[in-house]
Structure 1
Amino acid sequence: MAGLPTKKKTNDFEIPSKTTSRMLKNARQVARTVDDEHALKYRNDGTLKGNPSRATDLSSISKKAKKHSGRLEERCKELTAIINRTREKMKYLKSLQKECSDLCEAYAKVMEIVDMEGATSSCITTLKNLDFFIAECLESQEVRAKRNQSLTTMKELKTKLQKYLAEPGESDMDDGLEELPDVMKSSHSKDDDPHASAFLKKKTPIKHDVQALTGLKNLGNSCYMNSTIQCLNNTLQLVNYFRSDSYRQTNCNRHHGQLVYEFAYLVKDLWSGEHLCIKPELFKAAIGRCQPKFAGSKQEDCQEFLTFLMEGLHEGLNKVKVKKQIQEQTNEGLTDEMAAEISWRDHKLNNDSILVELFQGQFKKTIMCRTCSKQIVDFETFMYLFLPIPNTTYCTLQDCLMHFSAEKSVTGNCLMPAPNCGENSDTFMKLEIWKVPQILIIVLKRFKMEGNWWTKIDAPVDIPTRDVDFSRFVIGPRPKIYNLYAVSNHSGTLSSGHYTACCRNPCNQKWYKFNDSIVQEAYEPIGKSSAAYVLYYTSMDKQSWTPSSSSEAKHTTKK
């Protein structure tokens, strides 16, 4: 965010102290040289002998030289004093510049927090710091003269912000935001798309008696991680598993065991209700050891992070420690029900964890040759439903599902394992949802490759939230009714974007926005959104939480 303009540093009036010393030294050397040369001349010529006038002349010249030397030395001292005073003024100006820079940083911080709509103690503390810097700078006439207009603007803004934070009623918030200047807008944390109006947030501070409302500090472009964690932290069945210490019954393998334990400790800390926010350093360190890609401070994709985290938790919690050799399945002569059941059974032989139970479903994949009509049917497991966005203007989630299930033609490249009609035969492939998991994670494919560059699709998608019936798009067992409980949002661009989460709290069924360390109550995300990226639906509603009777292990997560 741009701050106030600062004056460019300059050293135009500063003369190095070495220069001053050299000038003074040269002046003294000139005086001594003049005196010595005259004395030597008269001594060698012998003209001093019996010539008092010559001696008088020499004495006069020597006095004049010394006087000249003294005047030059005084001038050098005066020059040195002027230089010292100038240097002190420069230091003073630099200190004023530093104060102004601090003021700009404080101003930018307030803008960032307000833009996140964080009516919390963090915002109030920053306002106090801003008040301090304004008071410091107003004491200087020079700064007041140069910054008068900017300070006036900030004082007005400060007054509005204090009124804004005094009593955060819903109507007051809307009026206050309309009056604030455009400088509060930011592409990092606010969706400026007009279609995203349904995602407006309430500005009500969180209550400490509600669990799972703890924020996560940003460790340097780690918003992608924080958004994902908050969505999983509001997945009640997964939370119950970790808070009840059920994960300890599994003999976690060495590679992923630490990741499992750090995630468990983090969930317990987030549900303790003791802190407004915590610093997930130990968890991020464990992630970085398993996958160096997530070890640094580079912005990453939250869907890629979710995939890695879920796979790591599954491998760590998998009850199958020695994988079995599974014979390749042939489905010829089998009904879809029988083939799907065999495929799921074989999958469970090597994969048995809470992640499989809650998050995995099945696809039916059909490949058919257009020349001979031979087809192959296969059943595959999935944990995420990647849906394309069919256009760049507006669509619904149903449009995305229809586009996903449509036939894909492959021209001149046969996809059959053993083509009977030649490798250049045309084929088509169709991927259909056979079985939906208890918790369905949908990823909207907002990023696509165009040439050599990745671009973002900002088209608004109409997101259903309650009593969602996916049966129209499922060809296997009839699914239950689903409800949205968490959304991972991405706003901004690929190079300058920001991730947040909007989740329904299992304790009070209210929606909250999680913006790194800031948590605040939000409206239910009904309607169009150009920021919605990863959607979390559950069929096990209503989510309700009964406090676990087991004691929860304390951990050293930094607060």
Structure 2
Amino acid sequence: MGKTRLPRPDNFVPATVGLPNEENTVWLNVIAQCLCNADPFVKYFLANEHLTDLRKKYWIPLGKGKVAKRLAQLFLNMWNPSKHEILRDMKNKFKEIIGQVGPQWEGDNLHDAFEFCCWLLDHLNEELNLRASKEMYRVLQFSKDKSAQVEAETIAYHLSRNKSIIQDCFIGFLGSSLTCSGCNKEVMTFDPCLGLGLPIPIPDDNPDGSVSLADCFNSYTAPEQLNLEDSWHCVRCQKKISGTVKQVKIWTTPQILVIVLKRFSKRVAHSPLGKQVDFPIEGLDLSPWVKSPRNEGNIYDLFGVVTYFQDDSTSDSGYNEAYCKNPVDHAWRKFSDEMVEFVESDAFSSNDDIRKEAYILFYGRRGSAD
């Protein structure tokens, strides 16, 4: 491994530039680095397709799409060797516009990287959505025997209201079922999903051992029995019945899959669970957990990891770093603010510390960049 600061133009590889950490913006830096390596998402901005979509949406430029424009400028400076010298200024302008649009991001407070990622993608969807509508989103609830028909209607309805780069790249669908323990009636709903929050199971027989990402998916999709207070009001029984079974099912998958590992202890605020999660670098197959018969292309390869660590377990804050696989030279690099470190593939895949500190995983569907 060799450490280097900002690369020189004569050996410049796009998307390998560090970002300054001013005002405690490490949470912004790591998300920007991962998204900057997210092909085809980043190419959309580099090709100025966001400006085309903004013109389509507003017909004439009206100063709209401020976050999308600033993000595109940031990406351009991270990809262009003649532009990265003014990267600090572009990063500050991006942070400034984020604070103006979302006041919760103002100041120098540390923030959660996944919360920022979700906010950013959601806001970009609002700015770039060519089918934006003020109509309230409707949730269709139906019996299992009509699931295929209403699944198609629900997804079609969602797509009629959403057309953007975010929809194309990041949005999948979840199916949630409730089964009454009294009469065995099952109902399902479908909802769009931006990122999966996977629990980290702690095995009773080996609480200190590692778990696999497959274990996390199994825990996420496992049936859960609800108590009477949380149970569904069964339309057939005409009352709530304790023991209603709830189950979340992955229905369709996006081009870019964002996974957050729920590492934080409920007992101690901001205290991460240092559990090692073994996740595949290549060939993550989601087929065992995807239920829609029409969904295809469930093989994913990792291209980004955001880690979270803290030296003092009593501290209420931690630190993020990003590991990204470059879409140009396909090499892994570690990004710690302005410091960029080349990482050998074998060293990355065998690094247990990364698996203990991995917080957000970015996977790309195989073949989606072609």
Shorter chain as denominator, the TM-score bin is 0.7 to 0.9
Name the structure 2 match of 1:293.
Answer: 104
Distance 1:249 1:513, change over 3 A: same
> How far apart are residue 327 of structure 1 and its match?
5.8
Counterpart mapping for 1:103-502 below 5 A:
119-120=3-4, 208-251=11-54, 257-274=65-82, 275=84, 278-279=87-88, 280-324=91-135, 329-332=140-143, 334-391=145-202, 393=208, 394-417=210-233, 420-450=237-267, 453-476=269-292, 477-492=295-310, 495-502=316-323
Q: What SS class does the counterpart of residue 316 from structure 2 fall into?
A: coil
Q: What SS class does the counterpart of residue 362 from structure 1 fall into?
A: strand
Alpha carbons 1:413, 1:427 under 8 Å: kept: no
**Structure 2, gaps ≥5 residues long:** none
Alpha carbons 2:233, 2:240 under 8 Å: kept: no
* Structure with the higher helix share, 1 or 2: 1
Partners in 1 of 2:5 and 2:112 — Cα distance? Answer: 30
Alignment TM-score, normalising by the size of structure 2: 0.86
Partner deviation per Cα, 1:189-246 (whole Å, 9 max, x = no partner): xxxxxxxxxxxxxxx9997331111111001211111000000000121111111111
Distance 1:520 1:453, change over 3 A: closer
Partner deviation per Cα, 1:392-442 (whole Å, 9 max, x = no partner): 532110110111110111122253255535335331100011111111111
Q: What SS class does the counterpart of residue 300 from structure 1 fall into?
A: coil
Counterpart mapping for 1:499-510 below 5 A:
499-510=320-331
Alpha carbons 1:215, 1:278 under 8 Å: kept: no
Name the structure 1 match of 2:349.
Answer: 526
Identity across matched positions, percent: 27
Partners in 2 of 1:501 and 1:327 — Cα distance? Answer: 37
Q: What SS class does the counterpart of residue 372 from structure 1 fall into?
A: coil
Alpha carbons 1:466, 1:482 under 8 Å: kept: yes
Q: What SS class does the counterpart of residue 455 from structure 1 fall into?
A: coil
> How far apart are residue 539 of structure 1 and its match?
1.2
> How far apart are residue 334 of structure 1 and its match?
4.9
* Structure with the higher strand share, 1 or 2: 2
Partners in 1 of 2:132 and 2:288 — Cα distance? Answer: 38
Q: What SS class does the counterpart of residue 386 from structure 1 fall into?
A: strand
Partner deviation per Cα, 1:333-377 (whole Å, 9 max, x = no partner): 754333222111111122211101111111111001112222211
Structure 1 range deviating more: 453-462 or 398-407: 453-462
Distance 1:466 1:216, change over 3 A: same
Alpha carbons 1:358, 1:437 under 8 Å: kept: yes
Partners in 1 of 2:184 and 2:74 — Cα distance? Answer: 54
> How far apart are residue 248 of structure 1 and its match?
0.9
Partners in 1 of 2:35 and 2:100 — Cα distance? Answer: 21
Q: Residue type of the partner of 1:430? A: Q
Alpha carbons 2:178, 2:245 under 8 Å: kept: yes
RMSD over aligned CA atoms reads: 2.6
Task: Give the structure with higher Rg (CA).
Answer: 1
- Number of aligned positions between the proteins: 346
**Structure 1, gaps ≥5 residues long:** 1-116, 123-203, 545-559
Alignment TM-score, normalising by the size of structure 1: 0.58
Alpha carbons 1:214, 1:277 under 8 Å: kept: no
Q: With CA pairs under 8 Å and 6+ residues apart, which has the higher RCO, 1 or 2?
A: 2
Partners in 1 of 2:139 and 2:220 — Cα distance? Answer: 27
Q: What SS class does the counterpart of residue 447 from structure 1 fall into?
A: coil
